[in-house]
Amino acid sequence: MTKSDAASHMDMAHPCLEGKKRRCGRPTPSATEQLDQHLLEVAASLFVEHGYAGTSVDQIARKASASKQTLYRRYPSKEALFKAVITNLTASLLRTMAEAPLKDPLLELKHVSRLMLDFVVRPDALGTYRILIADAYRYPSLITHAIENISEPFHASFERLLKAAQNAGEIEAGHDNATTAHLWSGLLTGWPMKESLFGLKPLEDKAARDAFFEHAWALFLRGMGAKPV
């Protein structure tokens, strides 16, 4: 088998189907989606392990049992692939946030805030943060993409729910603004993220996160002039 034949064979292999490498004809939408997800998961694991600069498209293709052509058809560069990893990291979380109803804005803010706390201490999120801290100064478009796909959606959701809570009379007037949203985000995630980035495990289990979150939430409510919900 020539090198080109081998690459073609790897291209048609579906790594999500129990590792079987066989020609399957035209892939179904479901199979394509599974392959896309597999490629992103493999890329994410290698980026976290070796850093952005230390990871190549060749490495990702080999680990994923795919050809470089498979990757380049989807992502024209390593930078585009890393951006896709970031987007994939937050996709389901952002869908959950966007679907939060406004029946009780303060309870919805509590729900979204807890999602944020759980997210920032996830190993894959922490690995991505470390890459951005280490390499983003050389690749400024990466940090811009991360801000647009992680920080800004959370911040926008906080502001939206603060405005709704104020309109509903659940918090005192004057707190439905960007400054309040930033202060709440810092109170909630600043210490856990810092400790976790240092390799410590300040909120290792759900019980610890529950206790920390409820304490932070009670402080926040008092500052907003609201009663604990």
Structure confidence by residue, pLDDT tens digits, 34-78: 889 999 999 999 999 999 989 999 999 999 999 999 999 999 999
- Would you state the pLDDT for residue 84? 95
Q: What's the mean per-residue pLDDT of the chain? A: 85
Distance (Å, whole) CA 80 – CA 217: 37
List of E strands, the chain = none
Q: How many percent of the chain have pLDDT more than 70?
A: 85
Tens digit of pLDDT for each residue in 118-143?
999 999 899 999 999 888 788 889 99
CA gyration radius for the chain?
A: 21
Residue type at position 130 = R
CA nearest neighbour of 167 among 106, 114, 211, 228: 106
**Residue 9 in this model has a pLDDT that exceeds 60:** no
Residue type at position 187 = L
Long-range contacts of residues 5-14, Cβ cutoff 8 Å, at least 24 apart: 7/67, 7/68, 7/69, 8/67, 10/61, 10/65, 10/66, 10/67, 10/70, 11/66, 11/67, 11/69, 11/70, 13/65, 13/66
Distance (Å, whole) CA 10 – CA 8: 5
**Residue 156 in this model has a pLDDT that exceeds 60:** yes
Name the band, by pLDDT with cuts 50, 70 and 90, for residue 101. Answer: low
Tens digit of pLDDT for each residue in 172-199?
999 999 999 999 999 999 999 999 999 9
Distance (Å, whole) CA 4 – CA 118: 45
**Residue 228 in this model has a pLDDT that exceeds 60:** no
Buried b (16+ CB within 10 A) or exposed e, 164-190: bbbeeebbeeebbeeebbeebbeebbe
- Residue pair 113/210 in contact by the 8 Å Cβ criterion: no
